[in-house]
Amino acid sequence: MRRRLLIFITIVATLLSYTAYKLHESLDISFVTVLPFMLPLFFLMFGSMIFSRMHEPLNDQRWFQLFSSFGTIFIGLWGSYVIFSLVTDFLKLVVSGINIDHYTLPLSFVIVIFGFFEVLRGPVVKSIQILRKNISADLHQFKIVQISDLHIGASIRETYVDKVISKTNALNADLVVITGDLIDGKPSSIQHVIDKLKELKAKHGVYYVVGNHEYYWGIESVLSSLSQTGMTILLNENKIIDIQGTKLLISGITDPAAHSMQPSRPPDIVKASETTHAPDFKILLAHQPSIYPQAEKLNYDLQLSGHTHAGQFFPFSLFIGFFHKYSRGLYQHKEMHVYVNPGTGYWGPANRFGIPAEITLLTLTKN
């Protein structure tokens, strides 16, 4: 943990120094004058994350929630500015005489403003048809609603969660699945928000698997808190749903973060797949999409994942494909479909410019 913290501080300090240099260059202000402002900028952006862990009751204070939201907006502004500055510096190296530094800051502000209004709008419902030959008449038009990466915590509170629940319930789903990173805060400080998840409704229930962020806040306390909502938590296990004789298997695995943070329960897709039944259709819930090769070998029909946020906002959305083969939307991997939800909430910056938050309505359809 200390090593990770040291790496984080080193990277941030380097990028803040670069930011000071670029502001000096584009605004024609002395570098010595700009540099001291980087320390308060750091505390504005990351202070709430630090203090929320040091003094948990702060999370319930309205002023602290506003401070946290304001800080995340600046993280988005800073991130966009650094990326655009790097791009302009690269262009100056390859194109002689070009100087577009003065565009980077205004462009970053535009992205932050429009991205913030996209967050205020809340998640959109995206409808997807899953066309499969092996779907029985009983599963034809079976509706699954997927929520992923909601990140209930310092920024995402009652109002946003109410919006998600209302839109989800309006879809009259046969099944609701939550594919990780649902919680991003100490459960004791957000239990009143978590309790709202009891209102989620589906004909055959609500199923949930953990993401990596649940481990950062104490996985056992998170699981204890969520167990009070009535949802079915799948930890390397599965359930059979009988639909008029058709057997639908829904499996869920823990997140790879467990390897370092809860070694006693690492992800185990083989264990999660074991059953004495002969399923007619198999669904895997896995927070990170990278498990798809093993899932296909175990004859899953559909894998539902999240984690990537599809980059969350431009320009980061341009690079996410370099890190994840399946990063957003519907894919077919050999005989299996994979759907990657780009996130129902957001993490860090309150910014979803170009990548709207999403509640996914997946309808199984006989091809």
Per-block mean pLDDT, blocks of 10 residues, the chain (367 long): 77 90 85 87 81 70 79 87 91 82 89 93 97 91 98 90 98 98 91 96 97 94 95 98 95 95 94 94 97 97 98 92 95 96 93 96 94
* pLDDT at residue 310, rounded to an integer: 96
- How far apart are the C-alpha atoms of 22 and 255, rounded to whole Å? 39
- Give the pTM: 0.89
Q: Which CATH architecture has domain 124-366?
A: 4-Layer Sandwich (3.60)
Per-state percent for the chain, helix, strand, coil, to nearest 5: 50, 20, 30
- As a whole number of angstroms, the distance between CA 349 and CA 71 comes to 8
- The DSSP letter of residue 249 is E
Question: 75-107 burial string, b = 16+ CB within 10 Å, else e?
Answer: bbbbbbbbbbbeebeeeeeeeeeeeebeebbee
CB-CB contact of 329 with 340 (8 Å): yes
Give span(s): CATH 3.60.21.10, the chain: 124-366
Predicted confidence at residue 365, as pLDDT, reads 95
> From CA 103, how far away is CA 361, in angstroms rounded?
39
Nearest to 276 by CA among 236, 247, 298: 247
- Tell me what pLDDT residue 148 has: 98
Query: CA-to-CA distance for 241 and 249, rounded, in angstroms?
Result: 6
